[in-house]
Structure 1
Amino acid sequence: MASFRTLDNVDVKGKRVLLRVDLNVPMEETRVTDTTRIERILPTINEIAEKGGKVILLSHFGRPKGQRVDEDSLRQVLPTLEHYLKRKIAFADDCVGAPASAVVDAMKDGDIALLENTRFQKGEEKNDPAFVEEIAKLGDIFVHDAFSAAHRAHATTEGVAHRLPAYAGRTMQAELEALESSLTSPARPVMAIVGGAKVSTKLELLGNLVSKVQYLVIGGGMANTFLAAQGKAVGKSLCEHDLAGSARDILEKAKAANCVVVLPVDATVAQKFEEHAPSHIVSVDHVGENDMILDVGPKTVAHVEALLAQCRTLVWNGPFGAFELPPFDEGTNAVAQTAARLTVEGKLLSVAGGGDTVAALNQAHAGQEFSYVSTAGGAFLEWLEGKTLPGVAALQSQ
């Protein structure tokens, strides 16, 4: 991974610091229901403020598509942000123009201000040079702390980084260092666990991973497609039968790269997709025509855990089963807890990411013990696919 500058490389005292964060948090009415992203950015905000920088927060919220939409205003996030920072924050009703300039001009060293949703302006998603220039006028330096938005070439995620001296915030720094240690220059052997519903959404990911890891464990609904591609009956399970050829291609590519693909050998099946539906465990060679595979079975769990004990690095994206519905969370919970224990014992570096993955690991009470859990969905996935993230590349080109 190319080098990038961090807050260690700049004196922020007296400077106007445009700090790109991700405040696109889940809400119910006016209440933030998950504060993880807010908690992640606190160290960067506090460090800049304590060193005498003027912290000017930039973020998008929702998909207003260049229009001012009241329910997408960042003003509703302000009380939660103030609660966690334990201080008042100035708010500007726009991210450019007179409202933004007035708030920024009134700031003293160490002050914090939040500008309105950048996506209220059409120039944001278009990465319009004129809009980039308007944003850049408000700051002396740019700090990017929103890895979760780094896969977008937008004005405040990529454009401004080419206009002002640019640095990675502490959250971005931690994310990039975790990703580098997990796939770019990992301790081997490396295991990747890839689950989720559909192979079609993760073809590029699987194709990239087989050349980088020693063990590729495939779970979730996507494992059913691989089982079907091997001629096994999967009953009424979620399965993309039309991708059987793609599944076989990935297996061939893995064989050529000396990557061991691990598929379920047993499964927990039910005939209804609902919580606590009657279920039983079968070999994947004996799935009934009315059965739905909703989780991996204990033999599969034991096999994955045994391999994991031999590994030094784990990258995880996607659950093993329908973890939202007990008892179909057991496979994910068991492997997650084993990975957490190995991490705590210093035997494993574990990096996980993706919305369902974060939820599943938290449900298993294992997420906090992983080496790093990314809150980035699309950006994390694109990085695993081997794609260049514009927001990261902009930091590296300085």
Structure 2
Amino acid sequence: MSISVSRLQTPIVVTQGPQLMLSKSHLYMKAYISTTAGDEVSVTNNGTSAVFYEWRKFNRSDFIKAKRSDGINRFYCHYGRDVLLPGETKRFVFTFSSEKPGNFTEEWDLLTDPLLTHPIKQLTLSGEAYENDGYIAQRHFFEEELTRRTVLHTCEEILSDITRSVRTPTPPPPDLEDPKQCQEQFESKNLHYQVWHTTDVIKMLRQLESWVVEHIPLEEHFEPWNLSIDHMKELISLVPKIDLQHRYIERLNFIVKLAKEKPLYRSIYWEDARKVLVDLAEEIPVISSKIRTELDIEDYRFCLPWELTQEEIDKIQKEKTDKEVARAKLVKGKKINVAEEMAKDREACKERLFASVKEKFIDLFVKVLDEEPYMFLWNHMETMHLTNVLPKILQNTNRLNKHMKNSNIANYKIASNSIKTMNEVNMGELSRKYGINEADMEGKKVMLRLNLDVPLSEEIWEEEEVEVQNDPEQDPVTVIEKHCQPREIIDATLLKNAVPTIRYCLDHLAKCVIIVANLGPRVGNNREEYSLLPVAEWLEQELDQHIEFIEEIEIENFDERIEDLPENSVILLENMSFHPAEFGYSIDRDENCYHVDLDKINNFRRKLTSYYELYINDCIGPNTCMETLFKDTCSWRNPGCSSIECPEFEGEAILGLNLEKEIKGISSLFHEPERPLLAIIGGNHSSKINLLDKVVMMYNLLYQVDKIFLGGDMALLFFHVMNSLPSTFDPHLNQFVQRVIDFAKELKKPIILPSDFIICEKINPPEELQLDFTWAHYSDKYQPCKIGEPIPEGWAIVGFHEQTAEKLNSTLFESRRFFWCGSLDLHTSNKEQLNLLNKVAIEFFKSHKESRELHIGIFDVEESFKYLVQENNQNSTERILNSDEEEEEVEEEEEEEKTQEENSEGTVEQNQNSFDHLFNHRFNGGPLTVAILQGRKIRPLELIKEHLPPRPKSAEEDTSYLEII
């Protein structure tokens, strides 16, 4: 072996054959992002033959997965292919450049021809790309905030240590002899029994206590009865004789059963009914006096005989005789019996008095019914306020004695009232409800509760003579019977919405699908004009399957009735509104109302429960019977809806496709939302939700949203309450609005109002052009108006101007999640002046929904901006308006009508697609959605099966502290 020396005087071992040597096997380069760094390696041919070489990056089969590479080249070799002669040395420069920061590593191989005698090492390239730290300021603020919170937490701990050692006097026990405190204690301690306090019940329980105490041995130590039924059971258990124990338990159960009956004076209608009767009693003397004066009859004197002297009695008798004589003189030339005439007048007075008092009573009663929604919703808001205030009361132990009474009342109201404020817990419960895709329905009888209250064609009655044989010994009697002709379905939207759920059940091999639904008024007896037979015929055509229509509702031996039906059949029961136990009453055609006993209602629900093994609730729409399910169920006016509440007794209840979409849409919008969350509330003449419901909805939304923007009639209502504008709104709304304003200030959440208006002169629109537009659409005089400026007489506010539009745009830009309910403009029109705010919102969502990943839900607004979603809507509207001028012949009219129908259907489909693309959720639940957003507990939703809540995190799993860091 020979040895040679290079120019650097480094000894090189010469190898026989092809052989190369690397100066180093690892290169490290460091540079700012988007700049270049380099390093080099020397390769020496220490063999005896020339070598052709090529540098190539080494890629393993699992390279991307193992190194998590993004496939971007960051290392480069210059002049990486050539030949190396024996004894020759070459330098190879490698460069590194990256567009993003990080550490990157690659392996490169030196491929040779011929192969080397001894292999050489791989060359490892490491690169580090870095950038300037742009979060120095944020870290500084985070550290300051962390320091501030640490100091605050330390102060709270010190203060807690100090206050923990402070002892206040033990509050005295409640005075159980006081009727009010006795009522509070009795009902708060026995909430799970759902009992009511009455004097008779407490008296019987006290008597039972005395009997029990007499038989308890003296050596037993026990506390006196504290008004708890469970405590009374403990006292009875101390009685040594078993027969006495059984007797006292039976007595206690009987008293508890009596206590569960709600006292009449505790009804929510008691005060109103009492007020009606008192007002009526005060009006009766006035009505009676007026009638007796008109009929010239002596007035009543309310006094006892012994309270009058003989002179007063004689004077009264003389006045009566003089009146009868004067009456007889009026009838000249006729002999009359004055006593008979006076008796006739008195009978006429009684009849007129009865009719007048009845009319007055109806007026007073109707007035109370009109005020009932205000009373109910005000109590609901008060209870929600208690849920917010009660924890603060109970937390302050120093004031516990002072507020013991208030806390007991609050606990009772919260437990007895149906409230569900909008918070993470309640929204999480909604999101965990079982949907139809989570149920196993193969081979099961499925009951499907639908909303099929479709509009029908006009009633047409036919008379038919029928011979009836009442007595076999007599001739038949001819009777005229009336029958309603079959009616047609005008709008099948609800039926089309129900078809997917029916198909889903059939596709998943349900044994049979039993459909129950309501149609028409809730009368509780058979009305042939509202039969579900047209619905059965429509479903038969749509599903292309026989529909078994059963004209009965309460069916004995239901399984035997359907055993001959094929598998996967569809059964439609007759209109549930025909059964008196569905809503708890029946109304005949003479408007007489008869109420059903609660036991009969429960038996009817149990009968419905026996029909099915799986219950699916898909009852959703503008009139879904849900509005009866959040009021006082003890009321004769609202016993509930049996076909919705029957899962209370037995069976698994789940959500249908439409109801699930509504419920999961609400939960996804409000459960753990991205912040800020903005609520946009408005309304105009086309809104289906009244202002009262929207104000209460606002109160509940304040728990969850970060800010609220008001437009439309809601903005004018709030301006009116704040004395900024005159208005004709219902004065009952003022206290509701003021409560919302106060609650928003308490939570420090802003309510954003418009800054300026558009006004115009009031005009009467031309009759031939009145479509969906209001009178403001046809006015030509519009002008801006600032808040506080006087509005000229004969002019009215019709919209909002540019400053309000700019405020809305900036408010939208600051938010990430949105709930929009009601039009922001006051009038429906395609004019830009009258659609300014709606257009600003639509354009904002169109421009930023995808780029900023906005999450938007809308409710009750489609009708107000249907002219804004599609660009060609205005042209289609003009085409409809001008269609009358283009018609010349009858054939052309028919063709144009068909064309217009096709165009209108196409426009509806385009609007539908545009809505779905622009908004994440469109809520269509009507009363159901309003009730949820108002924080009311809905019994049908409570009966739906629910997944278990997620397991709370352990101390090791909880990483919430990272939010602070």
The corresponding residue for 2:435 is 6
In 1, Cα distance between equivalents of 2:754 and 2:845: 18
1:314 aligns with 2:314: no
Q: CA deviation at 1:185?
A: 2.9
The corresponding residue for 1:220 is 712
1:253 aligns with 2:743: yes
The corresponding residue for 1:204 is 696
Distance 1:358 1:172, change over 3 A: same
What's the TM-score, normalizing by structure 1? Answer: 0.86
Q: CA deviation at 1:336?
A: 4.2
Deviation per CA, 1:90-140, whole angstroms, max 9, x where unpaired?
322233326987874443332222222211112112382111122122212
Indicate conservation of the 8 Å contact 1:221/1:239, yes or no: no
Q: CA deviation at 1:257?
A: 1.7
In 1, Cα distance between equivalents of 2:815 and 2:455: 35
Indicate conservation of the 8 Å contact 2:707/2:752, yes or no: yes
Give the letter aligned to residue 853 of structure 2.
K
Indicate conservation of the 8 Å contact 1:214/1:258, yes or no: no
Distance 1:73 1:343, change over 3 A: farther
Q: CA deviation at 1:166?
A: 1.2
Q: CA deviation at 1:384?
A: 0.5
Q: CA deviation at 1:144?
A: 1.0
In 2, Cα distance between equivalents of 1:274 and 1:177: 39
The corresponding residue for 2:609 is 136
Q: CA deviation at 1:67?
A: 2.2
Indicate conservation of the 8 Å contact 2:776/2:798, yes or no: no
Indicate conservation of the 8 Å contact 1:147/1:379, yes or no: yes
Deviates most, 381-390 or 174-183: 174-183
The corresponding residue for 2:355 is none
In 1, Cα distance between equivalents of 2:754 and 2:730: 17
The corresponding residue for 1:165 is 652
Give the letter aligned to residue 311 of structure 1.
S
In 2, Cα distance between equivalents of 1:78 and 1:362: 33
1:372 aligns with 2:930: no
Q: CA deviation at 1:209?
A: 1.4
In 1, Cα distance between equivalents of 2:558 and 2:796: 55
Q: CA deviation at 1:245?
A: 5.0
Give the letter aligned to residue 282 of structure 1.
P
Indicate conservation of the 8 Å contact 1:17/1:55, yes or no: yes
Q: Which segments of 5 or more consecutive residues in structure 2 lack a partner in the other structure? A: 1-427, 459-486, 585-597, 630-639, 685-689, 764-773, 869-910, 948-965
Q: Which segments of 5 or more consecutive residues in structure 1 lack a partner in the other structure? A: none
In 2, Cα distance between equivalents of 1:339 and 1:103: 55
Deviation per CA, 1:200-223, whole angstroms, max 9, x where unpaired?
343321211122111212222232
Q: CA deviation at 1:19?
A: 0.7
Indicate conservation of the 8 Å contact 1:22/1:146, yes or no: yes
Q: CA deviation at 1:66?
A: 0.9
Indicate conservation of the 8 Å contact 2:605/2:645, yes or no: no
Match of 1:194 among 672, 681, 688: 681
Deviates most, 84-93 or 114-123: 84-93
Indicate conservation of the 8 Å contact 2:712/2:826, yes or no: yes
The corresponding residue for 2:725 is 233
Distance 1:103 1:113, change over 3 A: farther
SS at match of 1:202: helix
SS at match of 1:293: strand
Distance 1:275 1:384, change over 3 A: same
Match of 1:393 among 930, 938, 942: 942
Distance 1:175 1:204, change over 3 A: same
In 2, Cα distance between equivalents of 1:183 and 1:367: 20
In 2, Cα distance between equivalents of 1:81 and 1:329: 41
In 2, Cα distance between equivalents of 1:92 and 1:200: 41
Distance 1:291 1:368, change over 3 A: farther
In 2, Cα distance between equivalents of 1:104 and 1:332: 54
Distance 1:161 1:141, change over 3 A: farther
Deviates most, 301-310 or 252-261: 301-310
Give the letter aligned to residue 841 of structure 2.
V
SS at match of 2:820: strand
Indicate conservation of the 8 Å contact 1:17/1:140, yes or no: yes
In 2, Cα distance between equivalents of 1:142 and 1:135: 10
Match of 1:294 among 798, 821, 840: 798
Indicate conservation of the 8 Å contact 1:96/1:135, yes or no: yes
Q: CA deviation at 1:238?
A: 4.9
Aligned ranges for residues 306-345 of structure 1 at < 5 Å? Answer: 306-325=810-829, 327=831, 328-329=834-835, 331-336=837-842, 338-339=844-845, 342-343=848-849
Distance 1:5 1:276, change over 3 A: closer
The corresponding residue for 1:353 is 859
Deviation per CA, 1:161-219, whole angstroms, max 9, x where unpaired?
54211111222222211111122332222121222355434332121112211121222
In 2, Cα distance between equivalents of 1:59 and 1:113: 12
Structure label with greater radius of gyration: 2
Give the letter aligned to residue 394 of structure 1.
L
SS at match of 2:678: strand
Deviates most, 7-16 or 285-294: 285-294
Question: Quick one: percent identity of the two aligned structures?
Answer: 20
Indicate conservation of the 8 Å contact 1:24/1:60, yes or no: yes
Give the letter aligned to residue 140 of structure 1.
E
Give the letter aligned to residue 277 of structure 1.
Y
Indicate conservation of the 8 Å contact 1:301/1:331, yes or no: yes
SS at match of 2:611: coil
Q: CA deviation at 1:159?
A: 2.3
SS at match of 2:709: strand
What's the TM-score, normalizing by structure 2? Answer: 0.38
Indicate conservation of the 8 Å contact 1:158/1:390, yes or no: yes
The corresponding residue for 1:303 is 807
Give the letter aligned to residue 435 of structure 2.
T
Deviation per CA, 1:298-348, whole angstroms, max 9, x where unpaired?
443343233223322222222223444554455435534544665465722
Q: Which has the higher contact order (CA 8 A, sep 6+)?
A: 1
Aligned ranges for residues 36-51 of structure 1 at < 5 Å? Answer: 36-51=493-508
Deviates most, 75-84 or 383-392: 75-84
Indicate conservation of the 8 Å contact 2:652/2:945, yes or no: no
In 1, Cα distance between equivalents of 2:716 and 2:743: 19
Indicate conservation of the 8 Å contact 1:265/1:283, yes or no: no
Indicate conservation of the 8 Å contact 2:755/2:804, yes or no: yes
In 1, Cα distance between equivalents of 2:703 and 2:944: 27
SS at match of 2:522: coil
Give the letter aligned to residue 387 of structure 1.
R
Give the letter aligned to residue 42 of structure 1.
V
Q: CA deviation at 1:49?
A: 0.3
In 2, Cα distance between equivalents of 1:387 and 1:217: 23
SS at match of 1:320: coil
The corresponding residue for 2:448 is 19
The corresponding residue for 2:892 is none
Deviation per CA, 1:359-386, whole angstroms, max 9, x where unpaired?
3355544533321212211111111101
In 2, Cα distance between equivalents of 1:77 and 1:323: 37
Q: CA deviation at 1:50?
A: 0.7
In 1, Cα distance between equivalents of 2:863 and 2:495: 17
Aligned residues: 394
Indicate conservation of the 8 Å contact 2:805/2:836, yes or no: no
Indicate conservation of the 8 Å contact 2:855/2:920, yes or no: yes
Indicate conservation of the 8 Å contact 1:221/1:238, yes or no: no
Distance 1:163 1:265, change over 3 A: same
